[in-house]
Amino acid sequence: MKIAVLAGGLSTEREVSLTSGSMITNSLVRSGHSVCFVDIYTGLGMNSEGFGCAPEFTDKKIATYKVARRVPDLERLKVESGRGERRCADGVLDICREADVVFNALHGDVGENGQLQALLDMEGIRYTGSGYVGSALAMDKDITKRLLNDVDLPTPHGLALDMSEGIDKAVSEIMTRVGFPCVIKPCTGGSSVGISMSDNENELRVALAEAAKYEDRILAECKICGREFAVGVVGNTVLPPVEIIPHSGFYDYENKYQAGKTREVCPPENLSDEDIHRLNSITQKAFSVLRLEGYARFDYIMDESGEFWILEANTLPGMTPTSLLPFAASAAGIGYDELCEKMVRLALEK
Ligand SMILES: Nc1ncnc2c1ncn2[C@@H]1O[C@H](COP(=O)(O)OP(=O)(O)O)[C@@H](O)[C@H]1O
Ligand SMILES: [Mg+2]
């Protein structure tokens, strides 16, 4: 098959996506496909020498990208590329039209919020993962919370705020309606970018200023203390949960993508069959309520009383060497290549 792998983009998670995309490309090449890897923002491809060449369909392996320690500087990229806010480079849609299927390896921004999905739908182009409605619903952590709560699925008590109304108003509302300790996050972010925890008013002000760098809409949530898990879904299969144990701090950008910073355990120790069964049924219900398709990953915290709280749904979970969905799949006997093939097959069955 001819497969276009879309990666990069103008997103804080662009490096994560270039890493996912280059690994997916090599996997699809191993499986015998003709693959074109393209950064939708710059329009550049990757070959065995590295990132920056003209994109083309090829049966040759490409270089593997690696996530740097820090979040990329998008303002600099906008200036250096001369592309500003234009999110889809000339020629990208032509590559998609030429392909039998598009493998969406983007994370964040237009690749994950439904806009790209809607554009591909309008062109009659098939793509992996959820459609535009599910993507848009799951992208926004406040909307996700409301939909899940509506069917009695538990999410941490939280409050969405508009930072354009001023930081003092946000501080006072959070202090009266959420309290400490709390977690501050941009409503539509990912990879923990812009997320921090606060124990007091001073920390809260710093956390709000940090989150507001990325977005005006902010979510403040009660911090849940306990064990963290991620649960993946591929087609009709709920994968075994992965326990996430960072060596220090919480599961932030560095702990997510730098090897050796976090211990991932699958299947987790000391998690009963009853707990796993409960996680499965919550995950299945959440997948369907949010109208997701193909595959997804849900993030959970289990509090000290044993209750599972859903933090969020990821419609385009990472496919990097440290990512949780491929790790869980491998524990279930599904290797990386088989996982990518399954994602393609699910796209064609839609
Ligand atoms: N309410 C919360 N209580 C405790 N920890 C949280 C909470 N919300 C987020 N976190 C921590 O922050 C990380 C990122 O939060 P998450 O909501 O999954 O956003 P992202 O889309 O950036 O992954 C989680 O993996 C978890 O470690
Ligand atoms: Mg998460």
Separation between Cα atoms, residue 273 and residue 278, nearest integer Å: 9
Whether the CB of 243 sits within 6 Å of ligand 1: no
Q: Residue 133 falls within a domain, yes or no?
A: no
Residue type present at position 206: V
C-alpha 136/C-alpha 292 separation (Å) is 10
CATH code of the domain containing 89: 3.40.50.20
Claim to verify: residue 33 and residue 162 sit in the same structural domain? no
- 3-state secondary structure at position 259: coil
CA distance 92 to 41: 9
Rounded to the nearest 10 degrees, the angle between the axes of helix 141-150 and helix 273-289 is 110
Nearest to 180 by CA among 171, 188, 191, 189: 171
Residues with Cβ < 8 Å from 350, sequence gap 6 or more?
126, 131, 293, 294
Return d(Cα 347, Cα 235) in angstroms, integer.
10
Please tell me if the CB atom of residue 323 comes closer than 6 angstroms to any atom of ligand 1.
no
Helix axes 141-150, 132-139, angle to 10 degrees: 100
Tally of residues, the chain? 350
Do 102 and 217 share a domain, yes or no? Answer: no
Q: What is the pTM of this model?
A: 0.97
35 and 18 in a single domain? The answer is yes
Please give the number of the atom of ligand 1 that sits closest to the Cα of 250: 27
The residue segments making up the domain with residue 179 are 158-222
pLDDT in tens, the chain (350 residues): 999 999 999 999 999 999 999 999 999 999 999 999 999 999 999 999 999 999 999 999 999 999 999 999 999 999 999 999 999 999 999 999 999 999 999 999 999 999 999 999 999 999 999 999 999 999 999 999 999 999 999 999 999 999 999 999 999 999 999 999 999 999 999 999 999 999 999 999 999 999 999 999 999 999 999 999 999 999 999 999 999 999 999 999 999 999 999 999 999 999 999 999 999 999 999 999 999 999 999 999 999 999 999 999 999 999 998 999 999 999 999 999 999 999 999 999 98
Same domain for 306 and 320?
yes
Query: Is 201 among the residues known to form the active site?
Result: no
Closest of 147, 189, 190, 159 to residue 285, by C-alpha:
147
**Does residue 193 share a domain with residue 54?**
no
Does 201 share its domain with 247? no
Q: How far apart are CA 182 and CA 179, in angstroms?
A: 7
Domain boundary among 167, 187, 222: 222
Task: Note if 299 is an active site residue.
Answer: yes
